[in-house]
Structures are given as C-alpha cells and as structure tokens.
Amino acid sequence: MSDIRQRFITGVLFTLILLACIYFGKHSFTLLFLIITALGLREFYKLVRSGGFDIPTNTGVVVGSLFYLILTLYLHKMLVQIWIILIVPLIFFVFIAELYRKSETPIINIAIVLAGILYFAFPMVLLSYLAYPPAGYEGYELFHYNPNVIIGFFLLLWTSDSFAYVFGVKFGKHRLFERISPKKSWEGSIGGAAFCYLCAYLLSLYFVELSLMQWIIVASIIIVFGTLGDLVQSMFKRSMNVKDTGTILPGHGGILDRFDGVLLSVPFVMIYLQFLK
C-alpha cells in the first residue's frame, strides 16, 4: 500500500471514529479521550526517555489518565464535586513514587511527569468545556451536553492544518519558523487561515451555538495557537532528534503528532468562550 493511500485511509477512519464518539454523547466522548490521553502521555514520556531521561512512564500515564477522568466526569456532571479532592493525593503520589525508584535525577523526573500532565492531560480536560456552550441562543439548556462546538473546533483545526499543508507545498517560499520547522511557510499559513475563516462562516450557518463573529474569533485563536502548538511539538521532536512521536496512526505518526495543535489552542478557545465572549 502506498504511503499516500495509507495516510488517507488512516485519516478517514480516525476522523470518523473521533467525530462519532463526540457526537453520540458524553460517555463515548469521555471514553475516547481517556484512551487518547493515556496514549498521548505514554508517547510524551517515551519521547523524553529517548533523550536519556529516566522517566517513570507508568506512573505518569496512570496519574495523568486519572487526572483527566476525574475532572472530565465532574465537568460532565457524572461525579459530585467532592471527588475533585482526589486530584491532590494523585499529584503528590508522583513525588512519593519517586522515593522507591532509586533514580539519580528525582527532581527532573518529577518535573517532567507533571509537565506531561499539564501539557497533554489538562488540555484534554478543557475540551469538555466546549461541550457546554455559552448561553444566549434559542434552545440553550444549562449543563446539557452539546457536541457541536467541539466538532466545529476540530473542523476548524483540521481545515487550517490541511490547507496550510496544501498551500505550503504548492506556493511556500518564505519560511515561517525555519529554526524549528523548515517546511512551514507564510504562504501555507495564509492559505490555511483563509480556508479556516471560510469554514467558520459555514459553521455559523449550521451550528448556531455561536454567532458568526464568535466562530471567526475561535478560528483566529485556532490559526494562531494551533500553529504555535505544532511548532512546540516540532521543537520537542527536534530536541530529541526524532521524526514522529509514534507509529500508532500509520502515515500520520503518533497521537502527539495529531493533537499538537489542540494542546495549545483549546485552552485559549475555552477561556474566550467561557469568560470573554
């Protein structure tokens, strides 16, 4: 099978599974992103270990996954508030577990485990906020799971990424951030942005949870911070001298490779929709 065909098939299947789990409700959403969180954390710690760091991978994956699960279940109103207190012993378990590893770099190990949780698990939690769009449109129900804003978020991100790649390959001449990503160009970014705004307009016609202006602002956040998230991931890979963070998605790399734009953009989209709209 050719690389292009393999990449296409993997991309279509992954997209369909992701959108279906988001669409069918908070239970399938939570389960899917719990799996993604665990896989993403494992990739992150494996990436760091490739640089010679003695990271307790299993500890980080378990703690980070439970961190995601507790907070996400609470946001979906499937856990009462008292359960959030478990986050405190979870975080300090990372410190205690390091006592029994006899590592020569305990401070570095603890810091990297916590950094992985902040970098990957926390943004996955924040995705849940997008399931509860701001009030102000006809038919809004408080605390009622709504998949449209999350689906719109991913459609905007994928549109920006895909057309940035297409325009970059076809017209790219001026490098965007050559030190970190030699292939990214201003021409690609501009092309991706243009189609992202077009996607925002189309979303406003069908997903009325947000107004046209709100969708445009969300698109702007994704264009800027999605690109920065991609660059941060490229920085990590370059520092560890690896091409892809994993092989779980044939033709696409790993989970980190597919969600790099999400990690930096979703916190700012959440802040805008919940507090600044």
> What tens digit of pLDDT does each residue of 40-85 get?
999 999 999 988 888 999 999 999 999 999 999 998 888 888 999 9
Quick one: pLDDT at residue 135?
A: 53
Task: Using the structure block, give the residue that is written with the tokens 């939690």.
Answer: 125
Query: What is the C-alpha separation between 160 and 145, in angstroms, rounded?
Result: 26
Of 273, 147, 152, the residue nearest 204 (C-alpha): 152
Which residue range forms the structural domain that includes residue 196?
Answer: 3-276
Please tell me the total count of domains within the chain: 1
Q: Check: CB of residue 230 under 8 Å from CB of residue 90.
A: no
Query: What is the C-alpha separation between 37 and 117, in angstroms, rounded?
Result: 9
Express each pLDDT in 131-161 by its tens digit.
Answer: 886 655 444 555 688 899 999 999 999 999 9
Pick the range with the lowest mean pLDDT from 107-111, 186-190, 220-224, 242-246.
Answer: 242-246
Quick one: pLDDT at residue 139?
A: 47
Helix (H, G, I), strand (E, B), or coil: what is residue 211? coil
**Residue 224 reports pLDDT greater than 90:** yes
Quick one: pLDDT at residue 192?
A: 92
Q: Check: CB of residue 91 under 8 Å from CB of residue 114.
A: yes
Q: Check: CB of residue 68 under 8 Å from CB of residue 121.
A: yes
Quick one: pLDDT at residue 116?
A: 96
Strands (E), the chain: 175-177, 181-185
The chain-wide mean pLDDT, for the chain, equals 87
Determine how many CB atoms are found less than 10 A away from the CB of residue 52. Answer: 8
